[in-house]
Structure 1
Amino acid sequence: MSGTPAQRSTVGAITFRLVGFLFLVELTSGILQGYYVPLVTQIAGSLHVTTADYNWTEAAQLLVSALVVPVLAKLGDMVGHKKILLVSTAVTALASWALVANGGSFAIFLIAFAVQGFYVVWLPLEVALIFDRGRRTGTGPSQTRRAAGFLVVALEAGAIIGALASSKVFAATGHSVPLTLIVPAACVTLVFVAILFGVPESEPVPGRTLDVGGFVILTLALLFITGGLTFLRLNGPASWTVWVPIAVGLALFLPFGRWELRHRDPAIDLRVLKQPNMWPVQLTAGLFGISVLGAQIPLSAFAAASPAKVGYGLGHDPDVVSYLIGVYLVSLIVGAVLFPVFSRIVSPRAALIVAAFLVAIGYLLFLPMHDELWQVITNMVVAGIGSGALVASLPAAAAAAAPRGQSGIATGLTNTTKTVGGAFASAVFGVILHAGLSGDVSSGTGLGSYMAVWTICGVGALVAAALLFVVPRLAFADPEGVSAPEVAAEAVAAPRD
């Protein structure tokens, strides 16, 4: 680390305090992601809808997340990442309390659950905050990798805590859904206070403007694409309602590109995006979304499928399936913790490539190894370690590759592309599994559908690993031979356009 011992001590103290409070934020984010899942049947019953209807809440939240993250991340770069972190937390808290007070209305619950998706921008903003602190001393990349690993530990620990706590709270409240839903709402409210008093503000570059036109075009493009993917799951691949919206969404990127290249302060700087240390990271995030967001439901379904009835699967009850998910989450934590250590031994780029290969190996191992519980656990642990490393490293890598004043939007884009990749995978996997499971069981088409899912996940990760070889060898590393005062002076003198 550059700088004098006193400077290093000061930097370490600030980073420890900052990461400590942000750890609480990500712990709450994990609780939000894990708390509602075990209560799906009970919540649906209280709203007088079916479980299938309830699934619309997840789809709506993913859509809102994909749309708002780029705008909020860019605003963080403009006015300060803490300010936007507070705004997004306040919106999430209001939405969480609306879930408690929905009065049995599914429409209100659907809107509130969708708006709760504002929490997805927390991790990109946190990474940008940490990187801003480290950039001033020339240690932004390494500090951000270490801190991001701890944040992912908090995220996954929160998911485990939320999943385990919700059913116990439900029982303790006499099976009252409104009382049970108070817990995540209270957690978000408390974390707002933690951010307000415990997190220092970043130093945004002054004189920035919000590219409203660019964000409008980008939002419309994402809306059409994700809408088409939703109809793919509902209506199947033969419907025009699938391909026309997707085609329109893709076509909108042409005027978006022309607009951005002419704008003085674009929503997304395409000149930065095309650099070899940036575009492979963003594409990797999209390909990674296929497995990390799209493969979990198929894996759970396979573990629960009865070999005696359908000829494949593990035939385990929900308790064992939940343990499998727990093992996968723990492996994510291991990967997040090991990544910064491994990146110091080799290089950040090499560690990213290894992580992508681990995801590929883990899913491709399902092709020959899926008949026994130990085989499935082995595959999930290998894929989980790689996935945990990528969850922690991709936002940090994007922040390290971004110029000053664009770390928020760069990290936010990794989240958006991951979400779009997950939406694509969820829709396609739904069609594949429906087609396979609706056929003759004796034909083996059901197992073939699962094989197709695992193959897509594995090949997607292999493509991501190949793309990362394009990244320059020393990308994402701390600048060498630069002292802290020199870096600070360079930051002050940096162009403000």
Structure 2
Amino acid sequence: MPSSRRGGVAARRRSRRHQDIAPAGDARRGSYRAGLFILCGCGMLASFLATALVPAAGMIGAYLGVSATSGSWALTATFLAAAASTPIAGRAADLVGDRRVLTILVATISVGTAVCALTDDLVPMVIGRTLQGCGAGVIPVGMSIIRRLLGPSRAAVGASTMSVAVGLGGGVGLPLAAWITEDLGISALFWIATAAGVSLAVGVRALLPPDPARSGESFDPVGALGLVAVMLCLLIPVSQGPRWGWTSPALLSLLGAGVLVAVFWMRYEMRHRCPLVDLRAARSPVIAVANIASGLIGLMYMLATLTAAQLLQTAPVGPYAGMGESILITGILLTPGGLVIVVSTPVAARLIRSSGAATALAVAAAFVAVGYLLLLRWHDAPWQVSVGVTVVAAGVGMGMTATPVMISVSTPPTRMAAAQALNVVARFAGTAVASALVVAVLEAFGDDHGAVVPSEAAYRALFVIGGAVALLTCALSIVAARRRLRHDVTAA
């Protein structure tokens, strides 16, 4: 090859590498780091708000002046809205621009949080929490922007960065929300989050690089409406089943309608030229394994967290009721589980670069299984519960890093946000199933008179279920790795 031609090729390679690590039109490292800081802040805020009311779950009904069953909608509404709206937000980001959609999402979170801060009535609170859930798309959209800033060769670093932020938002958010709720009240909690949301919205517009040119594909409104209907018809029965009764006419009707709508929606999406969800791509082995594993990871983490919170907070009466810890102490005991994600996600990124994402996912599931084994064997003292949940969270953090990488390396840039959004939805669905499962098992293993206080058998059953799901995830990951479905990400 002539030297001039070799020089031109080398120059183009250097230019591509430069585009991978610097924002478009701005090579200053300070601006690049500021953009990553803003994106991680958006992920932290969304994660924090998703779990902000968990420590106050027992008092939210009294705060709103309604029954505990009605008050539970203040928690459920956020997860339902997130599951239904996140794929729409991801696809919109692919079509009209990541930064534009991210700004709208953060603004939506801010408005919803302000509504929650201004009210102590059920209906406005549910509306505000729904708006918060509609902003959950900041996580996949943020991952898409980070991948654009870092480039495909550093996809594991990008996924690790956002996973750390999401883990911090949920882990540190638990004791922080508990402290603010106990000392300052629920309204103060939401006012602080509103101020953070407004600041982040300004930062998104000021510090992130402009959106690149888009493909010009059209949005799929019918697919969006169909997806919302499917998610609501399937997830509302799952989340409300323990309260309505699993054989109630309302629950069975919603499930039947959800299945029927899902069939027609999938047929429509398969035939549409520019579908909201690319089901053909989602059926590929790598993406299918990643999405299934993401749902199981969400289930395992929420099951461990909710079970531990119930065990720690329940009054120590009856055959085996709990430990009688306060909301604040419970939040503190669960904090290491969130903080360990900060350590486990970079470890997962290195393992992905050396052995592949599927292998990292198998190791993550093994950690979760060990954590559930510890909880099953030793749960007689608060510190033992804290240790077990921390080991589970370490595996969850690694898994939360591996699954987005599997999506990232198997999806074209023009559909990156939508693909990551589907992965996030799978995780939300897993958390919804875990919430219903915990309530159902705790009630099923009450004493002979159906007392609200569960026996020790209930906690053992939940730990066994969590361990079994972890082993299933590990087996799925091993099969994927052996079939050469792992995707190595080389170090930059």
Task: Classify the TM-score, shorter chain.
Answer: 0.7 to 0.9
CA contact (8 A) 2:61 2:69 kept: no
Give the corresponding residue for 2:393.
384
Q: Does 1:53 align with 2:70?
A: yes
Measure, in 2, the Cα distance between the counterparts of 1:23 and 1:292: 21
The 5 Å alignment of 1:256-267 reads 256-267=265-276
CA contact (8 A) 1:288 1:421 kept: yes
Alignment deviations for residues 186-222 of structure 1 (CA, whole Å, 9 cap, x no partner): 1111110011101124435322111222222222111
Corresponding residue number in structure 2 for 1:491 = none
Q: Do structure 1's residue 276 and structure 2's residue 288 form an aligned pair?
A: no
Distance across 1 between alignment mates of 2:163 and 2:105: 22
Quick check: 356-365 or 77-86, which moved more? 356-365
Matches within 5 A, 1:44-83: 44-45=61-62, 47-83=64-100
Q: 1:393 aligns with which of 390, 394, 402?
A: 402
Q: Does 1:144 align with 2:158?
A: yes
Task: Tell me if 1:470 matches 2:480.
Answer: yes
Distance 1:368 1:396 in 2: 34
After TM superposition, list the pairs within 5 Å mapping 1:329-368 onto structure 2.
329-368=338-377
Query: 2:357 touches 2:488 (CA, 8 Å); kept in 1?
Result: yes
| Matched letter for residue 159 of structure 1 | G
* Residues 181/359 of structure 1: CA separation in 2 closer, same or farther (3 Å cut): same
Q: Deviations over 1:398-450 (max 9, x none)?
A: 222212311111111111111112212211221221121253599x9722222
Q: What is aligned with 1:212?
A: 221
- CA apart distance, 1:28: 2.8
Q: Residue 437 in 1 paired to residue 454 in 2?
A: no
Q: Which moved further from structure 2: 332-341 or 46-55?
A: 46-55
- Distance in 2 separating the partners of 1:10 and 1:346: 23
Among 243, 247, 253, which residue is 1:244 paired with? Answer: 253
Unaligned regions of 5+ residues in structure 2, if any? 1-11, 23-28
Match of 1:490 in 2: none
State the distance in 2 between where 1:231 and 1:437 align.
19
1:115 to 92, 116, 131: 131
CA distance 1:54–1:433, shift in 2 (3 Å)? same
Q: Structure 1 95/304 Cα, relative in aligned 2: closer, same or farther at 3 Å?
A: closer
Q: Deviations over 1:223-262 (max 9, x none)?
A: 1111221341212223233333223313333222221221
The amino acid across from 2:239 in the alignment is T
Alignment pair present for 1:99 and 2:116: yes
- Is the 2:290–2:407 Cα contact (8 Å) retained in structure 1? yes
Q: Partners in 2 of 1:185 and 1:152 — Cα distance?
A: 18
**For the residues of structure 2 that align with 1:297 and 1:118, how far apart are their CA atoms?**
23
Assess if the C-alpha contact under 8 Å between 1:47 and 1:105 holds in 2.
Answer: yes
Check 1:366–1:61 CA distance in 2 against 1; reply closer, same or farther (3 A cut).
Answer: same
Cα distance change of structure 1 residues 311 and 154 upon mapping to structure 2, 3 Å threshold: closer
Residue by residue over 1:460-493, the C-alpha shift from the partner in whole angstroms, topping out at 9 and shown as x without a partner, is 222222222325547443479xxx9xxxxxxxxx
Q: Which amino acid is the alignment partner of residue 399 of structure 1?
A: S
The answer to whether structure 1 residue 299 and structure 2 residue 314 are counterparts is: no
- Distance in 1, matches of 2:107 and 2:293, equals 31
In structure 2, do the counterparts of structure 1 residues 427 and 149 end up closer, same or farther at CA, with 3 Å as the change threshold?
Answer: closer
Residues 278 and 401 of structure 1 are in contact (CA less than 8 Å); yes or no, is this contact kept in structure 2? yes
How far does the alpha carbon of each residue in 1:115-155 deviate from its partner, in whole angstroms, 9 at most, with x for none?
A: 111231111111011112334xx424234234334433553
Q: Percent identity?
A: 21
Determine if the alignment matches structure 1 residue 27 to structure 2 residue 44.
Answer: yes
SS in 2 for 1:258: helix
- In 1, Cα distance between equivalents of 2:391 and 2:103: 36
Q: Conserved in 1, the CA contact under 8 Å of 2:19 and 2:149?
A: no
Residue deviations 1:14-52, cap 9 Å, x none? 753431221222333344345545556776555333444
Following the alignment from structure 1 to structure 2, what is the Cα–Cα distance between the partners of residues 279 and 424?
Answer: 19
Offset at residue 87 of structure 1 (A)? 0.8
The aligned runs of 1:450-469 (5 Å cut-off) are 450-468=459-477, 469=479
1:303–1:428 distance in 2 versus 1, CA, 3 Å: same
Select 2:21's aligned residue among 11, 15, 18: 11
Note the 1:311-322 alignment, pairs <5 A: 311=320, 313-322=322-331
The one-letter code sitting in structure 1 at the alignment partner of 2:260 is A
Structure 2: which amino acid aligns with 1:477?
Answer: D
Residues 294 and 429 in structure 1, CA contact (< 8 A), matched pair in contact too = yes
Checking the alignment, whether the CA contact within 8 Å between 1:396 and 1:411 is kept in structure 2 is: no
Residue 419 (structure 2) pairs with residue 402 (structure 1): no
* TM-superposed deviation, 1:67: 0.7
Q: Where does the alignment leave 5 or more consecutive residues of structure 1 unmatched?
A: 485-497
Paired amino acid for 2:220: D
Distance 1:441 1:161, change over 3 A: closer
Alpha-carbon shift at residue 3 of structure 1 (Å): 4.9
Report if aligned partners of 1:304, 1:318 keep a CA contact under 8 Å in 2: yes
- Tell me which moved more, 262-271 or 205-214: 205-214
| CA deviation string 1:155-202 (max 9, x = no partner) | 3465257426524761xxxx6x64553211111111100111011244
Equivalent pair of 1:33/1:162 in contact (CA under 8 Å): no
**Per-residue CA shift, 1:316-354, capped at 9, x if unaligned?**
444432221112222232222322133234333211211
The range that moved more, 312-321 or 201-210, is: 312-321
**Cα RMSD for the two superposed structures:** 3.1
Residue 212 of structure 2 aligns to a residue whose secondary structure is coil
Decide whether the 8 Å contact of 1:36 with 1:166 is kept in 2: no
Query: 1:459 Cα deviation (Å)?
Result: 1.6
Amino acid at match of 2:308: L
Distance 1:51 1:98 in 2: 21
Q: Could you say what secondary structure the match of 1:439 adopts?
A: coil
Q: Secondary structure at the match of 1:466?
A: helix
3-state DSSP class of the match of 1:237?
Answer: coil
8 A Cα contact 2:372 2:388, kept in partner: yes
Question: In structure 2, how many angstroms separate the alpha carbons of the residues matched to 1:15 and 1:388?
Answer: 25
Residues 393 and 161 (structure 1), Cα distance of their counterparts in 2 relative to 1, 3 Å cut: farther
